[in-house]
């Protein structure tokens, strides 16, 4: 737990889908010396879609496979399944195929062994059956849900790991950020934030608000900043 064992607090980020807005997000993360894990669907790379969100047309353009290693350099690439199905609706063979094929494809693209994952699809996107199959039959060592818990405590089940907060809940994010910065814990604590970078295009000031959060939580001497792998394993 934590690469830097001298610190009892860690912050990590997790973003899904491998979209081109990740490029802007990474520039912002790097500006504040923050680390993130990006969960990609290797079977959907280079695809282009337009999503309708909040009555707006939002670009959902996937990064090109040839650019994955360069774009995500300095951060972690992790599994999001091959083609983004809801794994709770898949049989064992398909779950293994979706997860392990994606993991091997991404490992080849980035040049290191990919071991992390985030479950695809919203709502109920994971259960104990799926988690046990992934643990038993793939090379994945942790997997994130979308069930936020507003909590900094460590968790025993790394195959159904719940994040602390969703990135668009800015008021809550700032409140939790202030509490975490001020925290002086006796035991290790983790602040884990998740989202999709394309969601930052929903509002004219969303990128500004996210940067305000980055300013709040970054460059603290008593906080370890790492990828999901750095912090969880």
DSSP the chain: --S-TT-SEEEEEEEES-BTHHHHHHHHHHHTT--EEEEE-GGGTT-EEEEEETTEEEEEEBPPGGGHHHHTTTSEEEE--SS---GGGS-HHHHHHHHHHHHHHHHHHHTS----BB--SSSS---HHHHHHHHHHSS----B-S---------S-GGGBPPSEETT-HHHHHHHHHHHHH---SS-EEEEEEE-GGGGGGSTTHHHHHHHHHHHHSS-TTEEE--HHHHH-
Res 12: pLDDT: 98
Report the CATH number of the 9-232 domain. 3.20.20.370
Res 72: pLDDT: 98
Cβ burial, residue 50 (10 Å; 0-12/13-18/19+):
exposed
Instruction: Tell whether the torsion through CA atoms of 28, 33, 37 and 42 is positive or negative.
Output: positive
State the Cα–Cα distance between residues 109 and 130, nearest whole angstrom.
Answer: 26
Structure tokens at 158: 């790394």
Res 124: pLDDT: 84
- Who contacts 171 (Cβ-Cβ below 8 Å, separation ≥6)? none
- Who contacts 83 (Cβ-Cβ below 8 Å, separation ≥6)? 41, 43, 44, 98
Res 53: pLDDT: 87
Residue with tokens 């994010």: 173
Res 6: pLDDT: 83
Res 34: pLDDT: 98
Q: Is the pTM of this model over 0.95?
A: yes
Strand partners, 195: 15
Res 123: pLDDT: 76
**pLDDT tens digit sequence for 139-158:** 999 999 999 999 999 999 99
Q: Name the residue among 110, 36, 103 with its Cα closest to residue 69.
A: 110
State the Cα–Cα distance between residues 36 and 101, nearest whole angstrom.
Answer: 22
**pLDDT tens digit sequence for 48-94:** 999 998 889 999 999 999 999 999 999 999 999 999 999 999 999 99
Listed as ranges, residues in the chain with pLDDT below 50 are: none
């Amino acid at each position: 737990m934590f690469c830097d064992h001298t610190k009892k607090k860690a912050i990590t980020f997790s973003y899904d889908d491998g979209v081109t807005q990740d490029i802007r997000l990474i520039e912002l993360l790097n500006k504040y010396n923050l680390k993130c894990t990006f969960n990609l669907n290797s079977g959907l790379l280079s695809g282009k879609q337009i999503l309708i969100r909040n009555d707006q047309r939002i670009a959902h353009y996937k990064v090109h496979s040839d650019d994955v290693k360069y774009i995500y350099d300095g951060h972690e690439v992790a599994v999001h399944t091959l083609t983004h199905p809801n794994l709770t609706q898949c049989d064992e063979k398909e779950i293994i195929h979706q997860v392990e094929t994606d993991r091997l494809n991404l490992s080849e693209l980035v040049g290191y062994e990919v071991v992390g994952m985030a479950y695809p699809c919203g709502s109920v996107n994971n259960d104990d059956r799926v988690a046990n199959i992934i643990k038993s039959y793939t090379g994945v060592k942790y997997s994130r849900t979308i069930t936020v818990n507003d909590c900094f405590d460590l968790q025993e089940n790394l195959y159904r790991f719940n994040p602390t907060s969703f990135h668009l809940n800015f008021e809550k994010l700032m409140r939790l950020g202030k509490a975490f910065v001020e925290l002086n814990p006796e035991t290790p604590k983790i602040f884990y934030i998740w989202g999709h970078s394309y969601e930052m295009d929903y509002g004219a000031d969303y990128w500004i608000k996210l940067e305000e959060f980055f300013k709040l939580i970054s460059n603290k001497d008593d906080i370890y900043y790492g990828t999901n792998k750095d912090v969880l394993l």
